[in-house]
Amino acid sequence: MDRAAYILSRFTMGGKVGQRHDIAGSPLDWALEEVDKTFDLTIIQDLPDTRSMATIMREMRIARQNAARSGRKSEVSKSFLQRLRKAFAKQAQAHFRQAVENKTSIHDRLALFWANHFTVSGSNNIVRPFVPAYQREAIYPNLNGYFGQMLWAAETHPAMLLYLDNHISVGPNSRAGKRRGKDLNENLAREILELHTLGVDAGYSQGDVTSFAKILTGWTIGGRLDKSKVGQSVFHGAMHEPGNHQLLGKTYRGAGEEQLKTALGDLVSHPSTAEFIARKLAIHFIADNPPESAVEALTKTFHETNGHLPSLHKAVLKQAMAHAQPFVKARTPHEYLTASLRALSPNSFGENAYKIMPRILVEMGQRPFSPPGPDGWPDDAASWISPQGIMRRVNIANAIATRMRDQDARSLMQDIYGDLLSDDTAQHIRRAESATQGLAIALASPEMLFR
Amino acid sequence: MMNRRDFIRTLTLAGAGAMVLSPAAFSALNSDNKFIFILLRGGMDGLGALPPIGDRDFAKLRGRDIDHSAYKPLDAIFALHPSLQHIHRLYQAGQAAIIPALAAPYRGRSHFDAQDMLEYGVARKNGMRSGWMARTADIIAEQQHGNSETAIALAGALPISLQGTINALAWAPDRLPDASGDLIARLADLYSDTPVLAQAFDKARKSDDIAVNMPRAMMERSQISARNNAKKEAFIQLASAAGNFLKVPGGPALAFMELGGWDTHSAQHRRLTQQLDTLDAGIKALKTSLGSVWQNSTVLVMSEFGRTVNFNGSNGTDHGTAGAGFLLGGAVKGGRMVGDWPGLKVPQLYEERDLRSTIDAYSVIANVLRDHMHIDPAAISKSILPDYKGTAAKGLIV
């Protein structure tokens, strides 16, 4: 098996021409070293951050209040919404570009995995403008740290608080709760336990969820009163449910802010979390039904390193080499387009590719930054290789091929996949009636649809 | 016996190069003439498009293919496939010259290489980086002093033919047609070893807006015909657009079009009928759209190669050598066949399997460039078709 081609296909956003050759000597060592490097974010630096998006939203709220008196409310909204849309589109395009143009892209794939694990979805219009910045602020900087650090950054990020309603969760016995008669919202508490740490089968009870929701109260979004806190999360003691709270048999005491830190720390150390994360990584990097031995090995690594992410990433690389099964993981539409553009780059599409990507992705059933729910995009072939989905990809492959020239699919696929390219695919490309059809077949081949 | 009346033994004609005009004289000539090159990608079966029904050997080879009543006779030997109604009318009006055994110099049987070389305008891979139409576009731009868009490709991206010049543009409608029936069939074959893909793809093909109770055979036919209708519409649209671009005063002098789907290794009869129908409809749309400019136009329709004279085991034909070519337009000296008929007896065939070429495609292109586009023969042989050492065919243009 061509190990270099396999690693590039499975662990990056897709091979580029020449890359397989570059790492052919010792591909695993290359990948292990890459994991330890820092994420190259050159392409997505200097984008509007959460604070600047929140500032636009705040200005919009004030302007709408003022305009309501003069009856120009909708006009005012329109111009602000346009600003928000533009700022979002700029970020989305930069993110697409990063995944296509960043040469190594092991970190891009890891980032994709973790952003999906800690999903904040733009399917909610108010949340939508914040999603790319959330990923850059909570996920990307923590790829080389500990799981606990990423967990903390994600759960306390304003976008997460907003998405899973924690900003409006009020302890019923808190000062704010008593004054305004407000109550808990347990959305974030439940999803942290179910989706981010323990997993649904870990045996926690409704009591644990309610209790954890109380621990989370007070974590909200600043800026309503204090302008200097716009776009930041704050702990607002007046909303926090006072007293001690029980979670998974342990009592959390003390002032509210510390409670969450301790509780999240304990969730990281919980055996269910290690196994839950290990299995999810194995599913993403090894197979839809990964071997139990691999899951066990990764669980062990999680325990031993206390969730040190680079150690986990390297362990999953080694496991994926040991259980190598090329082309069994279906690429999502986003991964598919990204891999296609990487294979074809440099190409004549330029910036246009990133501008039209959102529209194509919507057509392919994957609205950018907007998975249907907090559980993120599915990570199995059955969800993506549907009759409708596959025909769309074939049509997209055809459309891309029709717009490309100067690409010889025969040498292109050979360069990227080496011995991993099946004889069948090579033959179908070779027998195509034209270079364009050959490229369409290459782009619609199992080697491109899967990784 | 073969009727050779009207045949022009182009390659044996001496003195075609005697037409000596200075470059200045060329540039002064009519610059409103148009040259449209339509590349049929995949290898059109010349014997299917242009059956030599008067050649007794044809009946032996393709007996099952012959339905005399439907064919449209041209002369004692040749007829046109029934789908080519419009081209037949052009022939009767003296606006179609048909070349039964045309081929570019390349003799391998690879689609990729054959198309590349035909588009580069070379006889062998020699590192040429621009297309012959691109080089022509540059010369015309020079002739027309500053007119900078002398060529257009009706395609999503510039084909090799028009690469390497700043004087060409590409145009295609925003929404390109969906994958063709042929591509779908090839992918279905490729997916057959990957069950998850095969199952999903099979379902997608079956459910392509087809009524639930339709029998399977009928279902597949109607799916294919739906896709082919879309393809035909798209080609008509491109042909109409080509006419619109070309007829604008000062518009491009050269246009490139392409039509894929000719690689009929199986079920050739049905597929060729649809392909030729699409081609014929496109030619008609082009003529209509060009309006009076049709009178100044020459359209060359050809494939990278022809196909085997014998059918293979799947009612199809495999990659061959010479095939039929069509020169159409008001500027064409038409209503006749051009070039010798090499015959279909085994010793007459190329490598005992393919129709032998009697006309070099480059001699035809050179003729059109010289007599129709008024390009200096020295420039043609020096920069446009450097590998072509023969003499340009003569007398193709009115």
pLDDT tens readout for residues B195-246: 999 998 988 887 654 433 344 444 455 556 667 788 898 899 999 999 999 9
Does the CB of A356 have a partner CB in chain B at under 8 Å?
no
* Dihedrals phi, psi of B271, to nearest 5 degrees: -65, -40
Residue A272's closest CA among A164, A192, A161, A212?
A192
Residue B300, SS3 per DSSP:
strand
Residue A247, SS3 per DSSP:
strand
Distance CA A43, CA A22 (A): 23
Do B201 and A405 lie within an 8 Å CB cutoff? no
Residue A360's closest CA among A329, A330, A395, A388?
A395
pLDDT higher than 60, residue B12:
no
Question: Which of A6-20, A366-380, B28-42, B349-363 shows the lowest per-residue confidence on average (mean pLDDT)?
Answer: B28-42
A345 and A442 fall within a common domain: yes
Write the single-letter amino acid at B146.
G
Q: Sketch out chain B's domains with CATH numbers.
A: 10-174+215-384 (3.40.720.10)
* CB contact at 8 A, A21 and A197: no
pLDDT tens track for B117-131: 999 999 988 888 899
Residue A365 in any domain: the answer is yes
Does the CB of B157 have a partner CB in chain A at under 8 Å?
yes
* CB contact at 8 A, B61 and B354: no
A387 and A398 fall within a common domain: yes
* CB contact at 8 A, A99 and A108: yes
Return the residue matching tokens 């976008």.
A159
pLDDT higher than 60, residue B21:
no
Helix (H) or strand (E) holding A224: none
**Choosing among B197, B199, B202, B210, which should be mutated to test the A contact, i.e. which has the most A CBs within 10 A?**
B197
A211 and A137 fall within a common domain: no
Identify any residues that bridge with A59 across adjacent strands, giving them in sequence order.
Answer: none
Identify any residues that bridge with B257 across adjacent strands, giving them in sequence order.
Answer: B38
A302 and A345 fall within a common domain: no
Residue A134's closest CA among A344, A374, A327, A326?
A374
Beta strands in A324-427, from DSSP E residues, in sequence order: none
Name the domain boundary from A322, A340, A361.
Answer: A322
Q: What is the pLDDT of residue B127?
A: 85
**Choosing among A431, A434, A447, A451, which should be mutated to test the B contact, i.e. which has the most B CBs within 10 A?**
A434
With a pLDDT cut of 70, the percent of chain B lying above it is 85
Cα separation values, A280 from A115, A150, A283, A316, A359, Å? 13, 16, 5, 11, 29
Give chain A's radius of gyration (CA, Å): 24
**Choosing among A398, A433, A447, A450, which should be mutated to test the B contact, i.e. which has the most B CBs within 10 A?**
A433
Residue A187 in any domain: the answer is yes
Residue B320's closest CA among B43, B118, B58, B80?
B43
A334 and A435 fall within a common domain: yes
DSSP symbol at A228: G
Rounded to the nearest angstrom, the minimum Cα separation between B15 and chain A is 38
A138 and A71 fall within a common domain: yes
**Choosing among B38, B196, B317, which should be mutated to test the A contact, i.e. which has the most A CBs within 10 A?**
B196
Mean pLDDT for B18-40 is: 60
CA atoms within 13 A on the CB side of B277: 13
A346 and A434 fall within a common domain: yes
Q: What is the total count of domains within chain A?
A: 4
Q: What is the pLDDT of residue A436?
A: 94
Residue A388 in any domain: the answer is yes
Distance CA B290, CA B352 (A): 43
A295 and A370 fall within a common domain: no
pTM: 0.81
Does the CB of B201 have a partner CB in chain A at under 8 Å?
yes
Residue A68 in any domain: the answer is yes
A192 and A246 fall within a common domain: yes
Rounded to the nearest angstrom, the minimum Cα separation between B256 and chain A is 14
Would you say the C-alpha torsion A123, A128, A134, A136 has a positive or negative sign? positive
Distance CA A258, CA A261 (A): 5
Do B163 and A406 lie within an 8 Å CB cutoff? yes
Does the CB of A433 have a partner CB in chain B at under 8 Å?
yes
Residue A183 in any domain: the answer is yes
The pLDDT averaged over each successive group of 10 residues in chain A (451 residues) is 96 96 96 96 94 93 85 83 94 96 94 98 91 98 98 98 94 93 91 95 93 96 85 94 95 88 97 98 97 98 98 98 96 97 86 90 91 92 86 92 88 97 97 95 97 97
pLDDT tens track for B149-184: 899 999 888 899 999 998 988 888 766 677 888 899
Write the single-letter amino acid at A183.
D
Residue A233's closest CA among A103, A92, A432, A54?
A54
A78 and A96 fall within a common domain: yes
Rounded to the nearest angstrom, the minimum Cα separation between A215 and chain B is 46
Residue A85 in any domain: the answer is yes
Residue A429, SS3 per DSSP:
helix
Q: What is the pLDDT of residue A220?
A: 95
pLDDT tier, B31 (very low <50, low <70, confident <90, very high otherwise): low
* CB contact at 8 A, A170 and A184: yes
Q: Nearest 5 degrees, angle CA A277-CA A278-CA A280? A: 65
Identify any residues that bridge with B151 across adjacent strands, giving them in sequence order.
Answer: B168, B254
Q: What is the pLDDT of residue B225?
A: 66
| Two structure tokens written together for A243 | 């007293």
| Two structure tokens written together for A394 | 């074939």
Cα separation values, B356 from B107, B264, B350, B364, Å? 11, 19, 5, 17
Do A391 and B204 lie within an 8 Å CB cutoff? yes
Residue B80, SS3 per DSSP:
strand
Residue A153 in any domain: the answer is no
pLDDT tens track for A232-246: 999 999 999 999 999
Mean pLDDT for B90-111 is: 95
Which carries the bigger pLDDT value, residue B16 or residue A82? A82
Distance CA A9, CA A27 (A): 12
pLDDT higher than 70, residue B300:
yes
Residue A152 in any domain: the answer is no
Q: What is the largest CA-CA distance in chain A?
A: 76
A427 and A374 fall within a common domain: yes
Do B196 and A405 lie within an 8 Å CB cutoff? no
Return the residue matching tokens 């994360």.
A277
Distance CA A437, CA A130 (A): 41
A129 and A221 fall within a common domain: no
Cα separation values, A180 from A170, A210, A232, Å? 10, 20, 24
Q: What is the pLDDT of residue B1?
A: 33
Percent of chain A that is helix, strand, coil (3-state, to 5): 65, 5, 30
pLDDT tens track for A231-285: 999 999 999 999 999 999 999 987 778 899 999 999 999 999 999 999 999 999 9
| DSSP-derived secondary structure for A109-150 | HHHHHHHHHT---TTSTTTGGGHHHHIIIIIGGGTTSBHHHH
pLDDT tier, B3 (very low <50, low <70, confident <90, very high otherwise): very low
Contacts of B193 in chain A (CB under 8 A): 422, 424
Q: Which residues contact B298 (CB under 8 A, 6 or more apart)?
A: B33, B34, B35, B36, B327, B328, B329, B331, B332, B368, B372, B397
Does the CB of A258 have a partner CB in chain B at under 8 Å?
no
Work out the mean pLDDT of chain B and round it to a whole number: 85
Q: What is the pLDDT of residue B265?
A: 87
* Dihedrals phi, psi of A66, to nearest 5 degrees: -65, -40
Give residues 112 to 131 of B whose Cβ lies within 8 Å of A.
112, 115-116
Per-residue H/E/C for A31-78: HHHHHHCCCCCHHHCCCCCHHHHHHHHHHHHHHHHHHHHHCCHHHHHH
Q: What residue spans of B17-55 are helical by DSSP H?
A: 23-28, 46-49
| DSSP-derived secondary structure for A179-216 | HHT-----HHHHHIIIIISS-TTS---HHHHHHHHHHH
| DSSP-derived secondary structure for B105-142 | S--S--HHHHHHHHHHT-SS-----S-HHHHHHHHHHH
* Domain extent for A256: 164-269
Helix (H) or strand (E) holding B359: strand B359-360
Residue B388's closest CA among B370, B368, B361?
B361
Distance CA B384, CA B372 (A): 15
Residue A286's closest CA among A8, A1, A11?
A11
Distance CA A368, CA A215 (A): 33
